[in-house]
Amino acid sequence: MKIGYARVSTGLQNLDLQEDSLTSEGCKKIFTDKMSGAKSKRPGLESAMEFAREGDTIVVWRLDRLGRNMQDLITIVNQLNDRGVSFYSIQENITMDKSSSTGQLMFHLFAAFAEFERNLILERSAAGREAARARGRFGGRPEKLTKQDLDLLKTLVDNGTPIKTIAEKWNVSRTTIYRYLNKMEEDNNDRKEKDTN
């Protein structure tokens, strides 16, 4: 049995084109979602996958209707193949079915593309971090406390103010205050060590 899945990104968009194509393709049942593909929970897709039985084929109008990215697409198709369910995309004329040699080839090609996409993202991220470091910027969240805040923090601790009270003043957890104190102590020790060398 052919089972159709159609998705548009917003409620304002229309599913008619996809549904007509899926019906022409011979889909007996069609599931739909009106939401971004970036959402991890897509009730229509989940229902289509639950409904499909071994030997069935899930059909989409275009590949990007099924997965958020190549990795997501591979994961979904893998889940289908594990249950003996095939996958077909009308626009790209791609069938992915591990029981056929062509289907296996397509699956391996898609897996290779997914790996390539992942590596590109990692390379771009590393290059971005390196460029930021070269300009004196470092990753991570900006510090909550300024230099003046840290001076005041040290004074409050030296005067015996409870850590809970200090944390409430800056609206942070006690753990954050302890982390700042530890960092200040480490910095202090580093300075002393440099002075003695």
Would you list the domain boundaries of the chain? 2-116, 147-196
The pTM (predicted TM-score) of the whole model is: 0.57
Higher pLDDT, 1 or 9: 1
Is the confidence at residue 152, as pLDDT, over 70?
yes
pLDDT in tens, 88-134: 999 988 888 767 777 778 777 877 777 777 788 888 888 887 877 77
Phi, psi dihedrals of residue 10, rounded to the nearest 5°: -135, 165
Written as six digits, the tokens of 157 are 């601790």
What is the Cα–Cα distance from 177 to 172, expressed in whole angstroms? 7
Give the percent of the chain with pLDDT over 70.
91
- The CATH architecture that domain 147-196 belongs to is Orthogonal Bundle (1.10)
Rounded-to-10 torsion of CA 65, 42, 14, 4 = 60
What is the Cα–Cα distance from 96 to 88, expressed in whole angstroms? 6
Side chain identity at 129, as an amino acid letter? R
Query: Which is the catalytic residue, given 9, 21, 36, 125?
Result: 9
pLDDT at 39: 64
Report residue 188's pLDDT band, with 50, 70 and 90 as the boundaries: confident
- The CATH architecture that domain 2-116 belongs to is 3-Layer(aba) Sandwich (3.40)
- Other CB atoms within 10 A of residue 121 CB: 12
- 89 among known catalytic residues: no
Q: What is the per-residue burial (b if ≥16 Cβ within 10 Å, else e) of 80-104? A: bbeeebbbbbbeeebebbbeeeebe
CA angle 169, 172, 173 (to 5 degrees): 115
Report residue 56's pLDDT band, with 50, 70 and 90 as the boundaries: very high
